[in-house]
Amino acid sequence: MKNHKTLKSCGKAQKEFKNSLFIGYARPVESEHEAKAFIKKIKELNRDANHNVSAYFVKEKSSFALKYDDDGEPAGSSGKPIFKILESKEIRNAVVVVTRYFGGIKLGFGGLSRAYRDTALAAIEEAGIVEVLEQVKLRVCLGYAESQKVRNLIEKYGVIRKEMYTDTVEFIILVNKELEDELVKKLTDETKSKAELERL
């Protein structure tokens, strides 16, 4: 996945507009299935609410899943403004649900849009936005003699996801794409070209 932004953690925010209570929930997700499960959970949690409006934007491999739902509010007044925040802030793999408990005073189309947008934004800010850099996976195979210094070098640049020890040492590593060339050069120099490197 190319560089993108997502949510750091779960966020929750509460706002009141003309006696109506709005509660926003935001969280990072890995799949559309996870986004739908979260929406279902919030609806069950607030089953006595008047509306549970939702939006998500998920990228899985090469396909996008994007959806917003007004949940009974006037069409375009609520789900779309929430989705627009995810879109304008370039946030991917995130879901937002805003629950409304009606307080007896109608807000009108513009007032509704603002209330849902402001509540969603507050929940997103509470969750925090983080940039996710594109990563590449590499296999590094080498002898035991160089394994410790190579491990130290890899840990400066990325993370080791798997290690295998047979007659050689094999590391499966993840590294930010922009650091790949630099790491490969250093590994080659450090091991005097003895390390086998393969992009997975």
pLDDT digits (tens, 9 = 90+) for 157-178: 888 888 899 999 999 998 888 8
Sequence-distant (6+) residues with CB within 8 A of 43 are 52, 97
Q: Residues of the chain with pLDDT > 90: what percent?
A: 64
* Residue 144 CB-density burial (10 A; 0-12 exposed, 13-18 middle, 19+ buried): exposed
Domain ranges of the chain: 4-132, 135-199
Instruction: Kindly report, residue by residue over 184-197, the tens digit of the pLDDT.
Output: 888 888 888 888 88
Residue 158 near residue 179, CB atoms below 8 Å: yes
Q: How far is CA 21 from the centre of its chain?
A: 27
Same fold, 4-132 and 135-199: no
What gap in Å lies between CA 185 and CA 183, rounded to an integer?
Answer: 5
Span 70-109, pLDDT tens digits: 999 999 999 999 999 999 999 999 999 999 999 999 999 9
Q: How confident is the model at residue 27, as a pLDDT?
A: 96
Give the pLDDT of residue 153: 87
- CATH code given to domain 135-199: 3.30.70.240
Q: Which of 23-37, 81-95, 143-157 has the lowest mean pLDDT?
A: 143-157
Distance, in Å, from the CA atom of 45 to the CA atom of 33, rounded to the nearest integer, reads 18
Residue 98 contacts residue 78 (beta carbons within 8 Å) = yes
Q: What is the mean pLDDT of the chain?
A: 91
Tokens of 158: 């990325």
Q: How many CA atoms lie within 13 A of 64 on its CB side?
A: 7
Distance (Å, rounded) from C-alpha 182 to C-alpha 45?
49
Rounded to two decimals, the pTM is: 0.71
CATH architecture of 4-132: 2-Layer Sandwich (3.30)
Per-residue pLDDT band at 1 (split at 50, 70, 90): very low
In this prediction, what percent of the chain has a pLDDT beyond 70?
Answer: 98
pLDDT given at position 3:
67
**What would you report as the CA-atom Rg of the chain, rounded to the nearest whole angstrom?**
23
Helix/strand number for the chain, H first, E second: 5, 11
